[in-house]
Structure 1
């Protein structure tokens, strides 16, 4: 694989918490200024910030309590980082990713990208040992496009990918499923055990 040594950020997904908070403040701040400056008194217009806080609170609590829903993800030329965990590109089967991308697919379950549903947030990342783990995205098709193009480039281009795919054999990726909980309750299922 001809992976460049230069560190390039190919894809970055933040939690969306501060962006959503800023939009919320702008909308209800504008309502406050409009209502207080044109329609009613400033004291009466205070109801808009209060409504904004009451409506924003469930979103803020949800992001804090369920970080995987909009987790921080970063793809560089060296690694895939999910929250604080990192997966080096040397462990990823980039040839499989590139081959599927050239065929219009991008996941270990062979689902065509064009048929992805917006609610399907999970993207499977195949590894050399035959396993594949899932990562959640707000826009999985956007990540698949970047990851597939990177894999084709890292493998030397479309022609080389097709030639290698015709000669090389590797196990079909098996999605890693959550671990069954033990009798005493055990730990929460962790799809990212491969990072450790």
Structure 2
């Protein structure tokens, strides 16, 4: 498989926490300046920062309680990083990813075309050569699927080589790995994204 040696960053997803906080501060700060400087007094304008803080608190708590949607994800030519965990590209079945991408599909659950994904779909399955596939959650899964699909085609040598290899080679069909059961069978836990790196 033709793999480039350069560690190019193909996809990056940050938490979005500080960007959202900065926008929040700018918006309510501008309201305070407008209210205090033009409409009413500076004492009355203090109500806007207070409203902003009260509305921001649920957002901050939500990010802390549900970090997977906004977890840091970086895809390079050598590895996939989710938070501090790393998965080498050598373990990823890029041929399967490239084949699906050339068919207009991707590794979302069910293999639906990216353009037809429901907005509620956030999980992209990363297939491994051993037949397993693990879900990674994204804010914009279609964007990641496009980058991963295009990279897989390039890494495998191009569309013609992908089609030839897909027709000649056999590998186990990737199946999504089910959530690991914990001691408490009723805890309702979902698939641990970091299982992919075990």
TM class by shorter-chain length? over 0.9
How many residues end up aligned between the 2 structures?
A: 196
Change beyond 3 A, Cα 1:12–1:183 = closer
Residues 1-196 of structure 1 aligned to structure 2 (within 5 Å):
1-107=1-107, 109-183=110-184, 190-196=192-198
The TM-score with structure 1 as length reference comes to 0.95
Cα distance in 2 between the residues matched to 1:179 and 1:103: 32
Cα distance in 1 between the residues matched to 2:196 and 2:24: 37
- Aligned residues of 1:2 and 1:156 also touching (Cα < 8 A): yes
Structure 2 unpaired stretches of 5+: none
The TM-score with structure 2 as length reference comes to 0.94
Give the deviation of 1:117 after TM superposition.
1.1
How far does the alpha carbon of each residue in 1:100-154 deviate from its partner, in whole angstroms, 9 at most, with x for none? 0000111153222121012100000100000000000111000000000000000
SS at match of 1:192: helix
Cα distance in 1 between the residues matched to 2:16 and 2:8: 22
| Superposition CA RMSD, Å | 1.6
Give the deviation of 1:187 after TM superposition.
11
Structure 1 unpaired stretches of 5+: none
Structure 1 stretches (4+) deviating beyond 4 angstroms?
183-189
